[in-house]
Homo-oligomer: A and B are copies of this chain.
Amino acid sequence: MNGQPAETSDPAARFNAALETLVPRYHQMGLRVLKLSGRHVIATVPLGGNENHYGTMFAGALFAVAETLGGALAMENFGLSSYYPTVQEFTVQFRRPAVTDVTVSGSLDAATLDRLSTELEATGKTAFELDTTILDADGQTVATTHGTYRILTRR
């Protein structure tokens, strides 16, 4: 948060700086957003520091990196000054052990974003679903996730 234009103008860098305050433990895990726009987000978490005894990534890190995507998309579209996102339900299907860093991406389509804006304007709250696929460094599917998020008005 040093105000350098190159850093603050990039949504991913802004999100990562915010994450250190928003969810310190996720930042400590090395969880980082690599790309962020209103429609699409890509995040990563390293294997290093997040291994279990078997040398594979512990389940909680896979949950974390995917769960973060919905919050990042909500923040990028609607900010945190008037609204805040919360995760309502989240399912992870673990497909194979992760033995490398992993990346995960998620997208919201234009129609969904229009609906969210309309509902927030009309009722002060809304909800959306997000599916993700977590990939290892070889492009193999490590896990798939399905999340439901709510966006609420700050009181």
Contact = CB atoms under 8 A, between A and B. Distances in A.
B90 A59 contact: yes
A22 interface: yes
Chain A: number of interface residues, binned into ranges: 20 to 34
Interface stretch (A6-14, A36-44, A50-58, A113-121): A50-58
A126 B92 CA distance: 20
Nearest to A89: B93
Contact of A52 (B22, B51, B59, B60): B22
Contacts of A21: 53
Contact of A88 (B51, B67, B87, B93): B93
Interface of A: 21-26, 29, 49-54, 58-61, 63-64, 67, 84, 86-94, 97
Given A25-B29, A25-B60, 17 more contacts: A22-B52, A23-B53, A25-B49, A25-B61, A59-B67, A59-B90, A60-B60, A60-B63, A60-B64, A63-B64, A63-B67, A86-B94, A86-B97, A87-B94, A89-B91, A90-B91, A91-B91
